[in-house]
């Protein structure tokens, strides 16, 4: 039986004004440290760029060393860096249970769309696995777009979700669609 080195995991977040080269600069630093990117999400939000990465590397290593490598890169680009050590029970790959659905919401921009939709989903124990919003259209006629990927709990159906959101659809005067996402087998 071989003695495998312990693997450390960190959540790394970087936020700041969008510009080309952010992902390349951060991932170069991680590459030089020998880090593996296990999971990531990056997006531009209203001119700001947000990136979160779950990284792993073999011990011995320290959070301080990770910050020491990435902070100068972030400072040079005007980005804010956050690093959190993940405990072993926080790094287990978690596939969502239940059927995966995409919920789309389109309508006139107004306060409360995200809150009202997510409150209804939470009340039915529907887990949100991804959420994105965008404002499209013109200044005169802005259209709010909310896209949610959700995992349905046992006993919940896409039709049931659509029925649950029907009253909200009328109340907020928005279009709401629910569709199943069929996983691709490899």
Q: What secondary structure does DSSP assign to 61-79, as a single string?
A: --HHHHHHHHHHHHHHHT-
CB within 8 A of 62, min separation 6: which ones? none
What integer pLDDT is reported at residue 141 of this predicted model? 86
Instruction: Delimit the CATH 3.30.70.260 region(s) of the chain.
Output: 7-90, 100-180
Tell me what the mean pLDDT of segment 65-73 comes to.
93
| pTM exceeds 0.85 for this model | no
Q: Is the distance from CB of 174 to CB of 106 less than 8 angstroms?
A: yes
Q: Which residue has the tokens 């039709």?
A: 159
More confident residue, 95 or 129: 129
* Cα–Cα distance, 70 to 44 (Å, whole number): 20
Q: Is the distance from CB of 74 to CB of 12 less than 8 angstroms?
A: no
Q: What's the pLDDT band for 99 if we cut at 50, 70, 90? A: confident
Q: What's the pLDDT band for 138 if we cut at 50, 70, 90? A: confident
**At the fourth CATH level, which superfamily is domain 100-180?**
ACT domain (3.30.70.260)
Kindly indicate whether the domain formed by 7-90 is annotated with CATH number 2.60.40.1150. no
* Cα–Cα distance, 148 to 117 (Å, whole number): 10
Give the distance, in angstroms, between the CA of residue 170 and the centroid of all CA atoms in the same chain: 28
Residue 5 has pLDDT above 70, yes or no: no
What integer pLDDT is reported at residue 182 of this predicted model? 66
More confident residue, 75 or 92: 75
Q: What's the pLDDT band for 142 if we cut at 50, 70, 90? A: confident
Asked if residue 60 has a cis previous peptide bond (ω within 30° of 0), the answer is yes
Residue 92 has pLDDT above 60, yes or no: yes
Q: What does pLDDT average to over the chain?
A: 89
* Cα–Cα distance, 158 to 184 (Å, whole number): 19
Q: Is the distance from CB of 109 to CB of 144 less than 8 angstroms?
A: yes
Tell me what the mean pLDDT of segment 123-146 comes to.
90
């Amino acid at each position: 039986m071989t003695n495998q080195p312990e693997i450390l995991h960190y959540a790394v977040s970087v936020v700041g004004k969008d510009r080309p080269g952010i992902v390349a600069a951060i991932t170069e630093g991680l590459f030089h440290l020998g880090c593996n990117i296990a999971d990531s999400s990056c997006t531009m939000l209203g001119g700001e760029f947000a990136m979160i990465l779950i990284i792993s590397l073999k011990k011995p290593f320290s959070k301080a060393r990770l910050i020491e490598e990435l902070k100068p890169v972030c400072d040079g680009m005007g980005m804010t860096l956050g690093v959190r050590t993940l405990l072993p029970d926080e790094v287990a790959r978690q596939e969502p249970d239940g059927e995966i659905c995409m919920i789309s919401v389109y309508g006139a921009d107004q306060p409360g769309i995200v809150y009202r939709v997510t409150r209804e989903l939470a009340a039915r124990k529907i887990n949100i696995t991804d959420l994105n919003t965008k404002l499209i259209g013109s200044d005169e006629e802005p259209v709010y777009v909310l896209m949610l990927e959700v995992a349905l709990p046992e006993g919940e159906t896409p039709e049931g979700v659509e029925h649950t959101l029907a009253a909200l659809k009328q109340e907020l005067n928005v279009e709401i669609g629910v569709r199943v996402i069929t996983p691709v087998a490899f």
